[in-house]
Amino acid sequence: MEKSFRALVPLVIWTAFPLLILHTMLYAKPTYCYDGREGLFVCGLTPVENSFYNWGYADEHGRKVIPCKYRVANPFDKNERAIVSDGERDYLITTSGRIIAKNSYKRVTEYDEEKGLYLINGGRCANIMDKNGKCLLKGKYDRLSDSILDADDYFSACKDGKYGVIDIDENVIVPFDYDERIFGYCDSLSTFKYGKEGVININNEVLVPFVYDTIMSDDSFYDVGENGKYGVADKDMNIIIPVVYESVEVEDDKFVRVRQGQCYGILDMNGNELLSPIFLSLSKRTDGCWAGERGGKVFVFDENFEEIEEYFYEDREAHESDLPPLDYVTDTSSYDHSSPDIEEYDVNGFYAKLENEWLTVTDSDNEVVYEAPCTDLDAALFDGYIRVYHHGKCTVLDKNFRKVFTIKTDYLSTFEDDGYAVFTRGKHLDKYGVVNSKGRIMFRPKYIGIEDYNDDGA
């Protein structure tokens, strides 16, 4: 009997070992870690939204790894941490879904990804937390916020109801003497004292006295407000535009558009009127001219503010149809407005003409390099690809108009750095899937949101 048992031992081992390997392959939970890639799937995971508008995380094949139980889910960072929220409290989680330092805070913001540090607020006290949940500051602060200076490791801190500035070693840089959060850039910090706004530097020296209700700073000027009126001061706080207008807006550091009552005008930086505030609307056109509306007419002024054209407001489309496009239409300039059925683009040295739902592309030698039916052309080349849409299908081309792949969708997002893009399907285009830059569908549309490509955003 004993010999028979011993004879069965090798058989059991040789039988059980393959079964153990097979079980591991089928049921072992994969690990998700940072592999140096940035894009849609950082750490191999991306936020996804289910039909109940809750967020979780799925991998590159659409498998749900962390259940959809959060109201907000942010992408993972290189420390394999993500900030999520249940609507009332923020949490820092790992790629396995484990919560770091649960119930110790209400709000979490990323402070330094390289160092793996996070700002926490809203709990017993504000602090700086590392990726393992350890708090680094020994003092007790009511609130902490960063990004107040270009220099690293400075924080606007609130202690006993007063605001100051500390560094990461808790050295007090600006005393806790101020009534509201301190914010700004470089050495210019804006805050409130005695109910008025002023500007100080990092040495707590007053640059702008605390006498105005509001102060807005740009590189060269201050917009100052008092008792509902606004003006402009230079960096030495000399008032150059009196504080008598309902609004002021500095244009190119050369002019100021002002509103007096309900009407707009233009002043130079010395306060001299270039256009009297008599226009119901006044804006700069894409050709550099100014157009003002008054009495049912549009008055056009050149860059020297000399009147060059006048027409009735209802005729503006005929007069403005040949204006150049806005600057953000990159790589698709030379749009032809001459016919509503014809669109013409200059795309990476190619001439693209879309007419009556037919796209024709020619090169510099006027040779046709691509033609196909098309209802919409996305040729911005933000990711190096061109998209040709036609009744529920999208053909992806490279920058030389060579076909890469075709996919059934009415929307294809920009390809991220890791080579993945989001596409939509469904009756209301409310289902999202993922495709790679070779045209392989990683998972079909089954979520109503992926990362920040849904209507509400993650």
Half-sphere exposure of 339 (CA within 13 A, CB side): 8
Mean pLDDT to the nearest integer, 405-411:
93
Which of 267, 294, 260 has its CA nearest to residue 280? 294
**pTM of this structure:** 0.71
Percent of the chain with pLDDT over 70: 84
Neighbouring CB atoms inside 10 A of 379's CB total 23
Least reliable range by pLDDT among 200-209, 388-397, 408-417, 445-454: 445-454
Please indicate, yes or no, if residue 349 is contained in any of the structural domains: yes
Cα–Cα separations (whole angstroms), residue 314 to 263, 266, 296: 20, 24, 8
Return the amino acid letter for 389: Y
Task: Say if residues 100 and 81 touch (Cβ distance below 8 Å).
Answer: yes
What is the rounded CA–CA span in Å between residue 250 and residue 162? 33
pLDDT tens-digit series, residues 415-455: 999 999 999 987 666 789 999 999 999 999 989 989 866 54
- Domain holding 427, by residue range, is 342-450
What is the rounded CA–CA span in Å between residue 81 and residue 364? 50
Q: Is 399 helix (H, G, I), strand (E, B) or coil?
A: coil
- 143-148 contacts: CB < 8 A, separation 24 or more? 143/181, 144/119, 145/119, 145/181, 145/183, 146/109, 146/111, 146/119, 147/183, 148/182, 148/183, 148/184, 148/185, 148/189
DSSP 256: E
Bridge partners of 224?
Answer: 215, 231
Please indicate, yes or no, if residue 52 is contained in any of the structural domains: no
By DSSP bridging, strand 239-245 and strand 107-112 are unpaired
445: CATH: 2.40.10.480
Mean pLDDT to the nearest integer, 111-134:
89
What is the rounded CA–CA span in Å between residue 20 and residue 247? 74
Please indicate, yes or no, if residue 427 is contained in any of the structural domains: yes
pLDDT tens-digit series, residues 244-278: 999 999 988 899 999 999 999 999 999 999 999 99
Beta strands in 140-213 (DSSP E): 143-145, 154-159, 162-167, 172-178, 183-185, 188-193, 196-200, 206-212
Return the amino acid letter for 130: D
Task: Say if residues 385 and 396 touch (Cβ distance below 8 Å).
Answer: yes
The per-type count for the chain, helices as H runs and strands as E runs, is 2, 42
pLDDT tens-digit series, residues 39-84: 899 999 999 999 899 999 999 999 999 999 999 999 999 999 999 9
What is the rounded CA–CA span in Å between residue 412 and residue 430? 13
Chain Cα centroid distance, residue 33? 25
Count of domains in the chain?
1
In sequence order, what are the residues at sequence separation of 6 or more whose Cβ sits closer than 8 angstroms to the Cβ of residue 289? Answer: 300, 301, 302, 303, 308
Residue 24 pLDDT > 70, yes or no? no
State residue 330's pLDDT score.
36
The token duo for 84 is 């999520």
Please indicate, yes or no, if residue 284 is contained in any of the structural domains: no
Please indicate, yes or no, if residue 407 is contained in any of the structural domains: yes
Residue 379 pLDDT > 50, yes or no? yes
Please indicate, yes or no, if residue 434 is contained in any of the structural domains: yes
State residue 126's pLDDT score.
92
State residue 127's pLDDT score.
92
Residue 15 pLDDT > 90, yes or no? no
Which of 343, 348, 385, 378 has its CA nearest to residue 363? 348
Residue 203 pLDDT > 70, yes or no? yes
Residue 151 — very low, low, confident or very high, per pLDDT cuts 50/70/90? low
Please indicate, yes or no, if residue 299 is contained in any of the structural domains: no
Please indicate, yes or no, if residue 416 is contained in any of the structural domains: yes
